[in-house]
Amino acid sequence: MVEKEQGCCCCEEEASEEELLARLDGIIQEYKDKPGALIPVLQQAQAVFGYLPDVALRKISLGLDKPYSEVAGVVGFYSFFSTHPRGKHMIRVCLGTACYVRGGKQVLDELKHRLSIDVGETTPDRVFSLDVARCFGACGLAPAIMIDDNVHQRVKPARLQQILDQYIDEDQARADKKAESKAKA
């Protein structure tokens, strides 16, 4: 996976913008003369930065000798790309017909309230980002939400904090384990 190869701003110690741009230079050099390089470069750049800041888009435009409008157009077209920092965990609430009818909107409203963010935003601590989707293929078990790659089914607003706490607790356990290994070293 690209994120493990190139590193991710939220998975390791915070790198400076200069270090991140140096990584991006390496990625651009690797793909510079390859046809169809733009999307793989954008994917890897997003893995490095955690999102696609304007400075990275401009560097990619120059490095691949593509108009900035083409680079920005590709980023705007594909929902996978983000020009705003995303949280460590992406929460998507299904608002397809079955989920909507069975309470998906109430689940979304409760998440917005609990996280104090709106759709398309990220919590100030960059732990969670919130988005909506149209179908996860779990219509029989609606309403559903997806956090990262995990689908949670038959979600009730009252259960949301318990679900969010699972991710917060896992993150804390990883951080504790990492601190423990550093202390032993």
Residues whose CB is less than 8 angstroms from the CB of residue 41 and which lie 6 or more positions away in sequence, other chains included: 27, 28, 31, 60, 63, 64
Residue 11 has what pLDDT?
Answer: 41
CB-neighbour burial class of residue 51 (10 A; exposed 0-12, middle 13-18, buried 19+): middle
Q: Walk along the chain (185 residues) and give the pLDDT tens digit of each residue.
A: 333 333 344 444 568 889 999 999 999 999 999 999 999 999 999 989 989 999 999 999 999 999 999 999 999 998 778 898 889 999 999 999 999 999 999 999 999 999 999 998 999 999 999 999 988 899 999 999 999 989 999 999 999 999 999 999 999 998 888 888 888 87
Where is the domain boundary, 21, 42, 77?
Answer: 77
Q: Are the beta carbons of 111 and 146 closer than 8 angstroms?
A: no
Residue 13 has what pLDDT?
Answer: 53
- Structural domain harbouring 177: 89-184
Residue 80 has what pLDDT?
Answer: 79
Verify that 71 and 153 share a domain, yes or no: no
Whether residue 83 lies inside any domain: the answer is no
Whether residue 139 lies inside any domain: the answer is yes
Tokens of 54: 């304007």
Whether residue 82 lies inside any domain: the answer is no
| Domain containing residue 138: CATH number | 3.40.30.10
- How many domains does the chain contain in total? 2
Residue 122 has what pLDDT?
Answer: 92
Verify that 130 and 68 share a domain, yes or no: no
Question: Left if phi > 0, otherwise alpha if psi is -120 to 50, otherwise beta: which for 87?
Answer: beta
Where is the domain boundary, 16, 44, 77?
Answer: 77
Instruction: Show the 3-state SS of 23-91.
Output: HHHHHHHHHCCCCCCHHHHHHHHHHHHCCCCHHHHHHHHHHCCCCHHHHHHHHHHCCCCCCCCCCCEEE
Verify that 94 and 64 share a domain, yes or no: no
Whether residue 84 lies inside any domain: the answer is no
Residue 8 has what pLDDT?
Answer: 41
